[in-house]
């Protein structure tokens, strides 16, 4: 048990062993080189480890412009008409987003009345009035059952009568799955105004350049390859569709496109170089087999001769979601010293790896282990014995002499002490003390 407790108080200290082995030497230098390249090239240069960083706070507003025209006299509710922003931007304002209608189905002059439920509603199928429970509402239906079964001539099965907005919604795309109503959407333009703040550094920036004039904003269109127009905050939808690489299905069935505005600012340079970059991508699954696209319904209400009517519109279109990210960095001594310290600590990994290789993998590992690890328990015991001898000599009032013989009378107990060498002595009953080196 004493030995077990003693283990807790053992002290270990590193021992420097020089190993003349080309493999270990090359391995150590390669590891140090890799760590040095990582710290300098990646941490310090690429990640700018010498800078203090701040995250931007952002605000975004949008404005769409453009007028469209349709001439579909054979499509009820569409016909020949002009379409402006108030018609195809629904709702007129969203937070960091907007919706543009590209296709729609319109059901006109619906009023609250009684009509036959759709045949595709399973709970509405009936043979007689008793099959239609009054006030029953199917989760797939359009209204409450009145208790009457309506069977059209020549049919054996009918549908329950309901109280709802009648006539029921027309859910058939006017131009089918091959085309859409508003191809003029390519020419609409979107103005994005984006303001950001880096509060830690007291920096405010916006995506409209200080040098931009009213004339520039009236005539410019975003072009990422043009030295001036790449700063233009006005985007033609056709350019966005091209950058997002969308196909025609998005205009027929709808979808979601993301607009990413990214600010990466190095404030060690002039603040005029702190400008955004734009990217566009489709966010929904263009190849989904079920529930693909994006659509919703809204209605226009009006009254004629005391009767309330509504025109129901099922709108298909593209929802644009705007996401802003921003980060700024500026030189600061604290991150610089922390990263330098971390790099120096990583350099200490090289000797550790080399120790593992030398002590466990090389053929001469036994030799290296004996040279690396040394226990000095015997030396400690030897030192303890010397201390005990010194204490014993002090007890008897003796001093050591290199070469002499001392004769003394015995003590009261008749015991005489004889020195044998520098380290040990014996006690006997003789009357003479012999001491020698």
Annotated binding site for ATP: 63-65, 189, 295-297, 314
Annotated binding site: 63-65, 189, 295-297, 314
DSSP label of 237: H
Q: Residue 81: which H helix or E strand, with range?
A: strand 79-83
Radius of gyration of the chain (CA): 46
CB-based burial label for 315 (10 Å; 0-12, 13-18, 19+) = buried
Do residues 403 and 384 make contact, with C-beta atoms less than 8 angstroms apart? Answer: no
- Please, where are the H alpha helices in 64-126? 85-88
Grouping H, G, I as helix, E, B as strand and the rest as coil, residue 257 is strand
Please list the residues that pair with 79 across neighbouring strands.
72
Specify the 3-state DSSP secondary structure of 145. strand
SS3 sequence, 267-328?
CCCCHHHCCEEEEEEECCCCCCCCCCCCEEEEEEEEEECCEEEEEEEEEEEEEEEEEEEEEE
Helix, coil or strand: residue 231: helix
Length of the chain, please?
A: 437
Query: Which of 103, 107, 117, 100 minimizes the C-alpha distance to 62?
Result: 100
Residue 148, helix vs strand vs coil: strand
- Residue 428 structure tokens: 């006997």
CA–CA separation, 324 vs 233, rounded Å? 14
Helix (H, G, I), strand (E, B) or coil at 354: helix
The percent helix, strand, coil of the chain (3-state, each to 5) is 30, 35, 35
Listed in sequence order, the residues at least 6 apart from 98 whose beta carbon sits closer than 8 Å to its beta carbon are 62, 64, 89, 190, 319, 320
The whole-angstrom separation of Cα 244 and Cα 232 is 18
**184, two tokens:** 């003029």
What single DSSP character describes residue 137? B
Contact call for residues 191 and 236 (beta carbons, < 8 A): no
């Amino acid at each position: 048990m004493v030995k077990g407790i003693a283990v807790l108080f053992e002290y270990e200290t590193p021992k420097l062993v020089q190993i003349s082995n080309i493999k270990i030497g090359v391995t150590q230098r390669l590891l140090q080189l890799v760590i040095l390249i990582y710290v300098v090239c990646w941490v310090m240069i690429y990640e700018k480890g010498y800078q203090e960083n701040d995250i931007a706070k952002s605000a975004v507003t949008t404005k769409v412009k453009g007028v469209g025209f349709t001439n579909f006299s054979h499509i009820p509710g569409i016909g020949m008409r002009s379409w402006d922003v108030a018609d195809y931007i629904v709702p007129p304002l969203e937070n960091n987003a907007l919706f543009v209608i590209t296709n729609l189905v319109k059901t006109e002059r619906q009023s609250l009345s009684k009509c036959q439920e759709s045949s595709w509603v399973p709970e509405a199928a009936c043979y007689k009035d008793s099959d239609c429970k009054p006030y029953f509402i199917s989760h797939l239906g359009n209204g409450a059952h009145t208790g009457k079964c309506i069977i059209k001539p020549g049919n054996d099965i009918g549908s329950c009568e309901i109280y709802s907005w009648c006539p029921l919604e027309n859910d058939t795309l006017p131009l089918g799955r091959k085309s859409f109503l508003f191809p003029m959407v390519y020419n609409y333009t979107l103005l994005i105004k984006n303001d950001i703040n880096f509060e830690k550094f007291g920096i405010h920036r916006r995506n409209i350049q200080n040098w931009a004039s009213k004339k520039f904003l009236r005539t410019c269109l975003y072009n990422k390859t043009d030295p001036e127009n790449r700063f233009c905050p006005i985007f033609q939808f056709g350019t966005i569709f091209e950058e997002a690489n969308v196909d025609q299905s998005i205009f027929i069935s709808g979808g979601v496109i993301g607009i990413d505005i990214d600010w990466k600012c190095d404030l060690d340079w002039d603040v005029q170089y702190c400008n955004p970059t734009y990217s566009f991508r489709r966010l929904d699954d263009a190849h989904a087999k079920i529930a693909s696209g994006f659509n919703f319904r809204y209605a226009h209400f009006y009254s004629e001769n005391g009767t309330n009517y509504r025109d129901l519109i099922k709108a298909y279109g593209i929802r644009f979601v705007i996401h802003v990210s921003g980060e700024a960095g500026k030189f600061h001594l604290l991150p610089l010293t922390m990263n330098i310290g971390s790099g120096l600590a990583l350099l200490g990994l090289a000797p550790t790896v080399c120790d593992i290789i030398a002590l466990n993998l090389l053929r001469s590992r036994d030799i290296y282990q004996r040279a690396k690890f040394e226990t000095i328990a015997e030396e400690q015991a030897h030192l303890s014995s010397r201390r005990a001898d010194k204490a014993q000599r002090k007890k008897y009032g003796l001093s050591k002499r290199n070469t002499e013989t001392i004769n003394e009378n015995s003590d009261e107990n008749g015991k005489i002490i004889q020195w044998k060498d520098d380290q040990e002595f014996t006690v006997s009953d003789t009357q003479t003390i012999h001491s020698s080196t």
